[in-house]
């Protein structure tokens, strides 16, 4: 059965309840899981025997989701605090390689990184519960870049097809990812489509 290309989606996350609700809304209404039985049910017997199946009836591949949590430059400003631009996070909340600090790393930097890992773990679990099998996560940091630039850089590196985020993500540690101002920057500078999910999308 032919398959249409999957979408590569970058979703910016923080610790706010709104961001979690926005991600759940995204999983329900935007994410494509790739359902072979549903795709087959839309194709007639004649079309099944035809090697050229209409594009709108191709079985979609599951969307690939990358969750990104950004530690802002003001927490990484001192040289040698952090050695990498991105650290991948595994589903159990542990970094896959490198880590977020090293010998001499200040406690406030380690605390920000630990909080970021916990946030990524929550969203990875939400994705898993929704049936997503192509979801990974990373923490980004760069003392030379703003949060918005870090997100755009990650999208470019991954060849993302779109960036999705919730608006006004003011969590308890909202300085880590302040999506109110960040979303405005990304909307102005992104070369790919941006989806900003407002609170009204899932309000009762």
The 10s digit of each residue's pLDDT in 72-82 is 766 655 545 55
Output the average pLDDT for the chain: 77
Cα end-to-end span (Å), the chain = 40
CB burial of 180-193 (b: ≥16 within 10 Å; e: otherwise) equals eebbeebeeebeee
Q: If pLDDT is split at 50, 70 and 90, which confidence band does 160 have?
A: very high
Lowest-confidence pick of 18-32, 43-57, 139-153? 43-57
pTM: 0.76
In the chain, what are the domains?
3-201 (3.40.50.620)
pLDDT at residue 184, as a whole number:
84
Could you tell me how many residues make up the chain? 204
């Amino acid at each position: 059965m032919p398959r249409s290309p999957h979408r590569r989606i970058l979703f910016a996350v923080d610790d706010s309840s709104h961001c979690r609700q926005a991600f759940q809304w995204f999983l329900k209404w935007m994410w494509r899981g790739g359902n072979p039985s549903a795709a087959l049910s839309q194709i007639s017997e004649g079309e099944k025997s035809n090697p050229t199946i209409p594009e709108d009836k191709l079985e979609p591949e599951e969307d690939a989701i990358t969750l990104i949590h950004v530690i802002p430059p003001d927490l990484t400003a001192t040289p040698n605090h952090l050695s990498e631009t991105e650290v991948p996070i595994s589903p159990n909340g542990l970094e896959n390689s490198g880590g977020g600090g090293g010998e001499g790393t200040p406690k406030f930097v380690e605390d920000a990184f630990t909080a970021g890992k916990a946030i990524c773990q929550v969203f990875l679990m939400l994705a898993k519960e929704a049936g997503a099998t192509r979801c990974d996560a990373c923490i980004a940091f760069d003392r030379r870049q703003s949060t918005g630039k870090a997100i755009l850089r990650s999208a470019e590196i991954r060849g993302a097809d779109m960036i999705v985020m919730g608006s006004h993500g003011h969590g308890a540690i909202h300085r880590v990812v302040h999506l109110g101002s960040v979303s405005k920057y990304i909307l102005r500078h992104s070369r790919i489509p941006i989806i900003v999910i407002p609170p009204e999308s899932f309000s009762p």
